Amino acid sequence: MTAQPVLKTDLMQTRKVKPCLVSSELNRELNKELTSELDKELSKELKKSTQSKFSKAAEHYNTHANVQKHAASDLFKLIKPGFNKNKVCVDLGAGPLVNTHTLQSMFSSVVAIDLSLNMLQSSDLTTAKICADMDNLPLQANSVDVIYSNFAVQWSANFSALMQSLYSILKPGGQAYISTVVEGSLNEIKTAFAALDSNSHINTFNSELYINQSVQNTGFTINSAKKRIYTDEYTTPLKAIASIKAIGATTQNHTNTRQGLLTKSALKKVCSAYPLINNKACVSYHVVLLSLEKH
Ligand SMILES: C[S@@+](CC[C@H](N)C(=O)[O-])C[C@H]1O[C@@H](n2cnc3c(N)ncnc32)[C@H](O)[C@@H]1O
């Protein structure tokens, strides 16, 4: 790790650390800074990988995103009816603008934001589009009336920080409608891969409790917070496993991942261990749907 000596020198100079303190205190400081540097690097790599996988999936996303459509529809039902016509709405993690058209029928102006340019470009819909990272949004404080985000914020590197940023971007009285994938999701895939090795083969998802606490800590009023389980059914385990790839969601947000492609025999083992229900291979998503308000 080439950064180590530089950090060490910097710390010594800026904090005028006495030599006798170097071994314990400084080591702790160094470890903290290195861990944070590594986290940043890892986060950058994960972002690149997420962007690239969603970009590759953009063209066919719409045909495979069944569960996402159900969640989007449930999220629309939470939107407060009323004087929405003069309002600015952000569709965060908009993907190929699958929900933007409906949002345009509700709000006078819709800004679609996504990390993947391909996703944004794959729709002909005319609307403002911004290719940006939700963890570093280029939006001013108190500038947006409504945030709608379906099946996207689980990709944030820091959900709590994202909630703070969304709170700041919203105008007083602003609303946020958010669905996010939580712990318990893709358990069938997890069970099947457990027959192969002890590595994790799926994303790590935040718990429902963490989501609710983060939102509360931000200061949002929670008008509604519901958990739903959405399930897709496939005729074979192989199709179930492939469904994750088809929507671009195969980047894993942790380090305990298995590298490389599966051999034929490994894949066979995974498929035989896939739990079937009535001869169907299910893929379930545990999703929290939130209706939030800034005061
Ligand atoms: C599962 S798709 C959801 C798309 C759409 N909202 C829907 O309801 O079908 C998730 C989207 O989040 C986007 N995304 C992932 N990480 C992101 C980030 N850090 N910032 C902005 N968008 C991100 C992906 O590119 C992808 O288009």
pLDDT tens-digit readout, 245-282 = 777 666 666 555 555 567 888 889 999 999 999 999 99
Confidence of residue 230 (pLDDT cuts 50, 70, 90): very high
**Position 43, amino acid:** S
For residue 98 and ligand 1, the question of a CB distance below 6 A is answered with yes
* Angle between the N-to-C axes of helices 27-57 and 3-15, in degrees from 0 to 180, rounded to the nearest 10: 130
Higher pLDDT pick, 223 / 16? 223
Average pLDDT estimate for 49-62: 84
Give whole-number Cα distances, 64 to 68, 111, 222, 233, in Å: 9, 24, 31, 12
User: What is the average pLDDT score of the chain?
Assistant: 86
- What pLDDT sits at residue 47? 86
Higher pLDDT pick, 57 / 226? 226
CATH 3.10.450.50 fits 54-293, yes or no: no
In tens, the pLDDT along 89-135 reads: 999 999 999 999 999 999 999 999 999 999 999 999 999 999 999 99
Percentage of the chain with pLDDT > 70? 82
Going by alpha carbons, the residue nearest to atom 26 of ligand 1 is 95
For residue 50 and ligand 1, the question of a CB distance below 6 A is answered with yes
Average pLDDT estimate for 15-43: 61
In tens, the pLDDT along 62-90 reads: 888 899 999 999 999 999 887 778 999 99
Least confident of 43-52, 127-136, 185-194: 43-52
State both tokens at 145: 């009336």
Burial of 33 from C-beta contacts in 10 A (0-12 / 13-18 / 19+) = middle
Residue 21 has pLDDT above 50, yes or no: no
Average pLDDT estimate for 166-176: 97
Residue 23, by phi and psi: left (phi above 0), alpha (psi -120 to 50) or beta? alpha
Confidence of residue 7 (pLDDT cuts 50, 70, 90): very low
Least confident of 12-16, 165-169, 183-187: 12-16
For residue 147 and ligand 1, the question of a CB distance below 6 A is answered with no
State both tokens at 157: 């590197």
Print burial letters for 82-111: b (CB count within 10 Å at least 16), e (below 16): eebeebbbbbbbbbbbbbbebbbebbeebb
For residue 65 and ligand 1, the question of a CB distance below 6 A is answered with yes
DSSP string, 28-72: HHHHHHHHHHHHHHHHHHHHHHHHHHHHHHGGGHHHH-HHHHHHH
Contacts of 178 (CB under 8 A, 6+ apart): 75, 147, 148, 149, 150, 153, 289, 290, 292
State both tokens at 19: 């030599």
Q: What element of type H or E holds 283?
A: strand 280-293
DSSP SS3 for 93? coil
- What pLDDT sits at residue 45? 83
Q: Which of 151, 159, 162 to mutate to test the pocket of ligand 1 (most atoms within 8 A of CB)?
A: 151
R_g over Cα of the chain? 22
State both tokens at 65: 């995103």
- What pLDDT sits at residue 252? 64
- What pLDDT sits at residue 117? 95
Higher pLDDT pick, 90 / 38? 90
Q: What span, in angstroms and rounded, lies between the C-alpha atoms of 171 and 128?
A: 19
For residue 114 and ligand 1, the question of a CB distance below 6 A is answered with yes
**Position 9, amino acid:** T
- Locus of tokens 């529809």: 73
Nearest atom, ligand 1, residue 72 CA: 8
Nearest Cα to Cα of residue 116 among 61, 187, 41: 61
Which residues sit opposite 131 in a β-bridge?
114
For residue 153 and ligand 1, the question of a CB distance below 6 A is answered with no
Going by alpha carbons, the residue nearest to atom 10 of ligand 1 is 152
Q: What span, in angstroms and rounded, lies between the C-alpha atoms of 61 and 64?
A: 6
Nearest atom, ligand 1, residue 71 CA: 8
